[in-house]
């Protein structure tokens, strides 16, 4: 599976994703500059964490209008996958590729900590190898990760099973105490209607090696690579 890791001015998880995909997962991976729009050779685009354009204006607002992001809808329509983590999730919401918005954390402070995630939807290409209700451990690192959507959007998200992760306790209870940023209904990650675009605030690339404290982040990649193999290892394009 061929991965592209996007670099915006101010991105900083680019090297981490590149390392995990290339060195840990041994998959082909290359960097994609934010002005590039030729994504033909790629199967999955990664929008990494960071402070694209300093997060000036709003987190992800400027990057959400960059050439590479404007090329993503076509890429997805041709069967490509997109994973946006942290700033990548914010960018996907700003670009309108995922519904809702990410607001300033309820505590009004930056939070870097471990979180537990309750897997709500095990039917997306990113979670197919997992079982519903499974608890994944991944760290967060953000100041603006409070997910919000208006009531209609939230209803639609639920109806279409687009909520993938909710923050929970280690034993899997979705409680207020387990919510690190005040997200609506503890939402930590969602997909588009087709399930091919995943946005999540946690950092799967920081939970990809035992030495880093856990490997639950790899499960998303294994599911994704597995999905592609099941589909005949070729995208429809």
Partner 1 sequence: MTAADPKVTLDLALAHGLTAEEYDRIIQLLGREPTYTELGLFSALWSEHCAYKHSKVFLRLLPTKAPHVLQGPGENAGIVDLGDGWALVLKMESHNHPSFIEPFQGAATGVGGILRDIFTMGARPIATLDSLRFGDPEDPKTRYLIGGVVSGISWYGNCFGVPNVGGEVAFAPEYQGNPLVNVMCVGLVRRDRIFRARAEGVGNPVFYVGAKTGRDGIHGATMASAVFEEGAEERRPTVQVGDPFTEKMLLEACLEAMAGGAVVGIQDMGAAGLACCSSEMPSRAGTGMEVELSRVPRRETGMTPYEIMLSESQERMLLVVAQGREEEVRTIFAKWELDAVEIGRVTGDGLLRVRMDGQLVAEVAVRALTEEAPVYEKPTARPGWLAALHAFDPLSLPEPADYEAALLRLLAAPTIASKQWVYRQYDQQVGINTLVLPGSDAGVLRIKGTSKAIAVTTDSNARHVFLDPYQGAALAVAEAARNLACSGARPLAVTDCLNFGSPERPEILWQFAEAIRGISEACRALEIPVVSGNVSFYNETEGEAILPTPVIGMAGLLEDAGWRTTQWFKSAGDRIALIGPDAVSLGGSEYLAILDRRLAGRPAPLDLRVERDVQAACRAAIEAGLVSSAHDAAEGGLAVALAEACISGPEAVGAEVELPSLGRHDLTLFGEGPSRIVVSVPPRAQRHFESLMGECQVPWRFIGTVGDERLTLKVGGSVLVSLSLDQIAHAWRTGFDRYVG
Catalytic residue among 86, 94, 144, 168: 86
What's the closest the beta carbon of residue 122 comes to partner 1, in angstroms? 26
Distance CA 214, CA 218 (A): 9
> Would you call 18 a catalytic residue per the annotation?
no
Q: Mask 195-224, x = binds partner 1 (CB under 8 A)?
A: --------x-xx-xx-xx------------
Residues 127-146 within binding reach of partner 1 (CB under 8 A) = 139, 141, 143
Distance CA 207, CA 154 (A): 29
21: which DSSP letter? I
Q: Whose Cβ is closer to partner 1: residue 56's or residue 67's?
A: 56
Select from 15-23, 39-47, 89-97, 158-166 the region that touches partner 1 (CB under 8 A).
Answer: 15-23
DSSP for 115-149, please give it: EEEEE----STTTTTS-TT-EEEEEEEES--EEE-
Distance CA 76, CA 112 (A): 31
What's the closest the beta carbon of residue 30 comes to partner 1, in angstroms? 17
Task: Name, in order, each residue with C-beta under 8 angstroms of 19's C-beta and a sequence gap of 6 or more.
Answer: 205
Q: Whose Cβ is closer to partner 1: residue 108's or residue 159's?
A: 108
What's the closest the beta carbon of residue 66 comes to partner 1, in angstroms? 12
> Would you call 86 a catalytic residue per the annotation?
yes
Integer distance in angstroms from the first to the last C-alpha of the chain? 15
> Would you call 123 a catalytic residue per the annotation?
no
If one asks whether residue 31 binds partner 1 (CB under 8 A), the answer comes out as no
- Which among 188, 49, 175, 179 is positioned nearest to 127, based on CA atoms? 188
- Which among 173, 166, 180 is positioned nearest to 119, based on CA atoms? 166
- Which among 207, 213, 228, 202 is positioned nearest to 27, based on CA atoms? 228
If one asks whether residue 50 binds partner 1 (CB under 8 A), the answer comes out as yes
43: which DSSP letter? S
Residues 90-109 within binding reach of partner 1 (CB under 8 A) = 109
Residues of this chain that interact with partner 1 (CB under 8 A) are 9-10, 12-13, 15-16, 19-20, 49-51, 53-56, 109-113, 139, 141, 143, 203, 205-206, 208-209, 211-212
The catalytic site residues sit at 86, 203, 205
């Amino acid at each position: 599976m061929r991965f592209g890791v996007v670099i915006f001015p101010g991105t900083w998880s680019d090297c981490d994703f590149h390392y995990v995909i290339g060195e840990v997962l041994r998959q082909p991976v290359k960097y994609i500059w934010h002005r590039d729009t030729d994504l033909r050779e790629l199967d999955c685009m990664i929008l990494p964490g960071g402070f694209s354009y300093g997060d000036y204006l709003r987190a992800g607002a400027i990057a959400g209008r960059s050439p590479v992001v404007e090329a993503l809808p076509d890429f997805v329509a041709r069967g490509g996958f997109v994973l946006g983590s942290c700033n990548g999730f914010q960018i996907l919401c700003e670009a309108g590729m995922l519904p809702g918005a990410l607001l300033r954390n309820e505590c009004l402070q930056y939070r870097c900590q471990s979180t537990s995630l309750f897997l709500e939807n095990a039917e997306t290409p990113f979670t197919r190898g997992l079982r519903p209700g499974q608890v994944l451990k991944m760290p967060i690192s953000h100041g603006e990760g409070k997910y919000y959507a208006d009531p209609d959007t939230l209803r639609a998200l639920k109806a279409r099973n687009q909520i993938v992760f909710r923050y929970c306790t280690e034993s899997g209870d979705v409680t207020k105490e387990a919510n690190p940023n005040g997200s609506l209904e503890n939402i930590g990650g969602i997909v588009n209607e087709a399930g091919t675009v995943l946005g999540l605030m946690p950092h799967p690339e920081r939970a990809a090696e035992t030495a880093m404290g856990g490997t639950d982040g790899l499960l998303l990649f294994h599911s994704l690579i597995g999905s592609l193999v099941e589909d005949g290892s070729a995208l429809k394009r």
